Structure 1
Amino acid sequence: RVDGEGTSAADFGRTFQRQSTPALLQGVMKSWQALQWTVPSFEAAFGHQKMVCDHRFGVRMRMSDFARYMESQDDDTPLYLFDHMFADYASTHHLSEQYSAPDLFAQDILESLGPTLRPPYRWLLIGPSRSGSFLHKDPLGTSAWNALIRGTKLWVMFPPCTPSERLYPAPRPPCSGESAACWFLLWWRRLRSQARQWPAEHHPVEFIQRPGEVVFVPARWWHAVLNLEDTIAVTHNFCSQWNAGDVWRCSAATHPVLARHFRNCLQREHPGLYHEMNEQPPHSSDDPGVSYLSVQEDAPVHENSTEDNVPSSSDEEYLAAVALCSQSKRLRPDQSAPQACAGRLEE
């Protein structure tokens, strides 16, 4: 755990972002109005609003229905409210004004792309116990911060260099889709004992996140998250000077259109970074499967997969999502955002 109040952005960048080291921050949410958020208050304030409750299949539910579902569900794989359009709905826009990015993460180069070209980057997360995120990497080489407001979360993280054959050993345990509970129960139980024999650079990190704490997820780290209780959280993915190279490589490999806009943004706003990366132009991505809308769809579970044959998404996905997200910003207050605009990004 790191005292976020006593750490400067420069020190945190050098110590954690530059070194690609996860951190559990305390004291950076104290001024947030969002600390008052509860499921009952959401139900009372915007119970009629339809929210994205399963980004894999485009399931949408009214907030009031989801609140009742949380109270009574006993599913093995519960629905997880995971909505990146909450700041654009008329009834929930105010939520985005009740918190702010911690000062340690104030720099976000992708913000310079503007609201039209910028990929989805922020999510409201509301999940019952046993919901969560299957093992994955975040897309486009972005880093992330995850702020917990209610409940507790169990995290497991693996360094980027961990071979996929270690993370997905054969025989594979049977899991229902991308069930977080199944991964922790069947996969992590086995991996935890095996990991003791791994080289130090592949050792996982396991910890519990509590209300008021912010998790920093460095670029390209594998992570799985399980909600131990009913939870409310908000997460942002971002690009700083420390992971700009990762974003450059991943976007160039899978989304040349986005990469071109990102390059122009760097040239205009961050010429030093632009010239530094131009000296080593990206020929391929370290993680070609880590793309904008198609994170962890099939790549990690293919038998005998390699970095070179992992399928990746195309620019058509990015352009279609940009168009739909732009359209959603013009919706009337009583309309819902297009389903296809729900980006495939996890915690």
Structure 2
Amino acid sequence: MTSALDSGTARAASLGRFYLLPDALTIRCILTLLGPKDLSSLMLTSRYLHVFARNDLVWRRLFFATRDRNSTRLVFRGSWLLTYLFPNPEHDEACVNYLRDNNTPGIQDVSSEFLHHQWLRSNTSFAHFYPPPPAPPTPAIGENRPVNPVIPVENYDDLDQETFYRRYGYPNRPVMIQNSGVESWPAWEQWTLEALAAKHGDTPFRISNIDSDNEPSFRLCFKDFLHYLLYNKDQDPLYLFDPYFADAVPEMELAYEASTRATHSSALCQNILVLIFSRSSRATLDHPIDGYLLDHNGQAPRGTRTLLEHQHGTRSSLDTSDGHCKYPPHMTPPGHDPTSPTRLTSVAWYLDVYPFLPQESRPIEIVQNPGQTIYVPSGWWHMVLNMDHTVAVTQNFADDSNIIQVRQSMQADETETIQIQRWDELAQKLSMVRPDLAPALLPSQEDEQLQRLKAQSSWLDPHSENAADQWHDRVKDIVQRSTGFTNPGEIELIGTGENVCFLTAHGFVKFFTPFHDGHDSFLSEVRANTILAARSAGVKGDVLAPPRMLGYGYLFDDQTEWRWPFIMTETLSARHPVDLVESKEFMPEDESGYSVLLPPILHTLNYCHSLDLTSFLDESQLDTTFDQPRVSLGYTARCLEAAALNHTRWRVFPKHLLKLLPNYLPKDAMAVFDPSKGDAVASLVHGDVNPGNVLGYLDEEDEDFRPLSLIDFGDAVLKADPLIDIVSVFITILNCRQDLGMTKLLLDFWRQLGAKGDQDPKRTLARRCMWHVLLWPSEGLSLHLVRCVPEVGEMTTWEQLEQAIFGWWSAL
């Protein structure tokens, strides 16, 4: 046996200067740039270079870089080297003496970890793989683990449209559906590999090649694809995934339209689809958003890379079992980098990442058997592991529950003008068919304002690399105005929120954007920071003081439509010599952790709620050019006026509750908050207490998060209902947990403000809390609530929902 030392010496002697490079870099990035003559010369140079230059990955890429793209024939010869040399049927006689073998001839004393992984991924069988039993559900919701650890299996007859929508469509839950009639489709018998080859062998279909930038897809006769399927050993095999197969063979479209009780197992979803994507809309789209796809993912063990779709999807398996791996939208799969151009295949992920996952990071898994259909909601990360040759029918579609995500995905890239035009045409048609969807489909006043602003020279895209120098000039200007320093030091863009935030050597600079009443948020934050700074001498105990404001104002004069209001505050590190993080990165998982996090937050809210505002409300201590701040009933009235339209546009709650919303909302602001009836009044309500606005550090000794500062008073309200902050803390920090100890602490704090409660049965505590959720000026609080309580979709009335979330408070 060759020792490691001898192997290293032989490798150095054989590779020369290439010895210094990783084998993967040499093969993937260098040898794939060479032509056939250079590769042939390298084969004659040394043992290692012979093996590297014969690597099938190199010859596969060379083949697709040079092949005739008009040809629909490809005869796979067992290796890509032989296929490159003899690609067409007329070469059959010339290569008759060559073995159909893709294994590199055995060369002694060649050791390579890269080649070992390549061989392992190509030859490992998953035919008998079955996922382990799921972990028990966890009581709290966190960012680092799936929420629903089990995918249920439902019988088709047990699901009508409404039940499916409320149980799975609205809460965005995956489900496996069985006994739906797939076995009665003509495709069940007609779409075996043998039958397809016999009937459609000469028909070209679309083949996907995920390993090629030159030719990511091409047309190939089915018989040639089947031949490749049987003899290849590629770790990233070609696969048939054709959204337009019915154009080539119209009769195939009838193979899954059985005349039984269900045309296919996703008929529940299809009926919803038809309501939104009519036939005329489908033609206008010219996009396979709702098309059925013939999906043949190739030889086992193969599968997809990690995918995230903005449409819902269904997949009906016709012949073999497949493993499905899912992660919910809020959780990026371990080992997967969404920003990386290279992504792991399912085989690579199962071999290199899956065995080493801790229990809390394991995916939600299920095996799909022939005849079953799996429903994958939009936004879910999903991966399919084929355990054998697989034929499946897949569908992507939009409905009431994900139309917002579809809109965002189609409008995400402003350079994709055709895609944006498709959406605009589709939105116009859908708004006529479904007027109730119009607020979610058509541009809002804010959207129209943003389009105007983007056409002006003063507008800069906050996240455009091309605008980085201009943003740095703006930050430098603000730092000099606020502090007098001409050198801001290193400027770092931080955060991904709606406002534009920069960290400098002298402080934190935030520019307010027009989104979500950005100018009002600016005024509120300036007013709150001014009040808190004037009262800072009274701060005692563990109050989470905000950073000190160093300056505020407008970047431009009033000649521009958006003047870019800004504030600059000190960096907290100036007072706290620790690395500060947001509490959302380290949310507690038990009551002991909350006992550290919650009391300082409540002490801070108590301080804000109890401030003496007499001088600030009677004598303006702000620049007179600033408007009046958000105050009391006037602010509540504005939120109430906008609530119904906002929720129709956001579509966070299920459609059956949205229909009932106008009758559930209060008739006027005083029904929500009326000090004359004993409702407690808070001097300064923060308005958006959530884990992202609580900064602190992780105590290395006890591993508890220790809060130090409460930031972002952009939603602050004066002389308002303290329940606004109570509800926010309960939903975003306690995650709606029915933990009597922590929630009682929260309610005791509210009662200390002098809240007396109300005997009016229409103004119960639970109803007032639910009203505050619905009056929230942005969708963030509603989104967090329905994630914490996914059963919202199965609740039939707002009264039932309010009791489920807040009704038990009255017993504390």
Post-superposition offset of 1:115? 2.4
Give the aligned partner of residue 161 of structure 1. Answer: 330
Distance in structure 2 (CA, Å) of the matches to 1:247 and 1:278 = 13
AA aligned to 2:282 is G
Correspondence for 2:311? 142
C-alpha separation in 1, matches of 2:306 and 2:226: 26
What corresponds to 1:15 in structure 2? 167
- Identity rate, percent: 23
Q: Does the CA contact (< 8 Å) of 2:427 and 2:441 recur in 1? A: no
Moved over 6 A (4+): 279-284, 305-308
Distance in 2 separating the partners of 1:185 and 1:306: 34
CA contact (8 A) 2:323 2:386 kept: yes
The alpha carbon displacement at 1:10 in A equals 1.3
- Given that 1:12 and 1:104 are in contact with CA atoms closer than 8 Å, whether structure 2 keeps it comes out as yes
Q: 1:45 to 1:122 in 2, by over 3 A?
A: same
Q: Which has the higher contact order (CA 8 A, sep 6+)?
A: 1
Q: 1:62 to 1:85 in 2, by over 3 A?
A: same
**Residues 111-130 of structure 1 aligned to structure 2 (within 5 Å):** 111-112=278-279, 113-120=281-288, 121-126=291-296, 127-130=298-301
Deviation digits for residues 41-81 of structure 1, max 9, x if unmatched?
11110101111221541143210111122222222222211
The CA distance in 1 between the partners of 2:157 and 2:311, in whole Å, is 24
CA radius of gyration, larger in: 2
- Compare the two structures and name the one with the higher strand fraction: 1
The letter for the 1-side match of 2:392 is A
- Letter of the 1:7 partner, please give it: L
* Matched residue count: 273
Distance 2:219 2:300 in 1: 19
Q: Partner residue of 2:398?
A: 239
| Partner amino acid, structure 1, of 2:360 | Q
The structure that is helix-richer by fraction is 2
Residue by residue over 1:76-98, the C-alpha shift from the partner in whole angstroms, topping out at 9 and shown as x without a partner, is 22221111110100xx2211111
Supply the AA of the counterpart residue of 2:250.
Answer: H
- Single out whichever of 20-29 and 119-128 deviates more from structure 2: 119-128
Distance 1:63 1:278, change over 3 A: closer
SS of 2:360's equivalent?
coil
Query: How does 1:180-259 map onto structure 2 within 5 Å?
Result: 180-190=346-356, 193-194=357-358, 196-197=359-360, 204-254=363-413, 255-259=419-423
Partner of 1:53: 207
Amino acid at match of 2:375: F
Shift of 1:279: 9.0
Question: Is the CA contact (8 Å cut-off) linking 2:284 and 2:425 kept in structure 1?
Answer: no
Structure 1 residue aligned with 2:787: none
What residue ranges of structure 1 are gaps of 5+ in the alignment? 285-304, 309-347
Q: Is 2:187 the partner of 1:34? A: yes
Equivalent in the alignment of 1:81 = 240
Residue ranges of structure 2 left out of the alignment (5+ in a row): 1-152, 211-215, 258-263, 414-418, 451-493, 498-812
Match of residue 224, structure 2, among 54, 65, 68: 65
Q: Which residue of 2 aligns with 1:152?
A: 321
State how far apart, in whole Å, the 1-side matches of 2:256 and 2:238 are: 25
**Contact 2:336–2:343, Cα closer than 8 Å, also in 1:** no
Mapped partners of 1:282, 1:152: distance in 2: 48
Partners of 1:274 and 1:233 lie apart in 2 by 35
Q: Given that residues 151 and 211 in structure 1 are in contact (C-alpha distance below 8 angstroms), is that contact kept between their aligned partners in structure 2? A: yes
Question: In the aligned structure 1, how far is the partner of 2:250 from the partner of 2:351?
Answer: 37
CA contact (8 A) 2:300 2:386 kept: yes
Measured in 2, the distance between the counterparts of 1:33 and 1:9 equals: 25
Deviation track 1:97-148 (CA, whole Å, cap 9, x = no partner) reads 111443211221234513242411321111221222100112xx21010000
Distance in structure 1 (CA, Å) of the matches to 2:187 and 2:268: 18
Give the corresponding residue for 2:156: 4
Aligned residue for 2:330, secondary structure, equals: coil
In the alignment, the residues of structure 2 paired with residue 277 and residue 117 of structure 1 have an alpha-carbon distance, to the nearest angstrom, of 15
In the alignment, the residues of structure 1 paired with residue 445 and residue 171 of structure 2 have an alpha-carbon distance, to the nearest angstrom, of 22
256, 264, 273: which one aligns with 2:428? 264
Q: Does structure 2 conserve the Cα–Cα contact (< 8 Å) formed by 1:82 and 1:123?
A: yes
Q: Secondary structure at the match of 1:242?
A: coil
Greater Cα offset, 108-117 or 228-237: 108-117
AA in 1 matched with 2:331 = T
* C-alpha RMSD over aligned residues: 2.9
- Distance (Å, rounded) in 1 between the aligned partners of 2:312 and 2:444: 21
| C-alpha contact (below 8 Å) 1:55/1:82 kept by paired residues | no
TM-score of the pair, normalised by structure 2: 0.32
Q: Secondary structure at the match of 2:247?
A: coil
Which residue is equivalent to 2:30? none
Greater Cα offset, 10-19 or 264-273: 264-273
Taking a change above 3 Å as real, the CA distance of residues 40 and 105 of structure 1, as seen in their structure-2 partners, is: same
Q: Which residue identity does 2:336 align to in structure 1?
A: Y
- Please give the TM-score of this superposition, normalised by the length of structure 1: 0.71
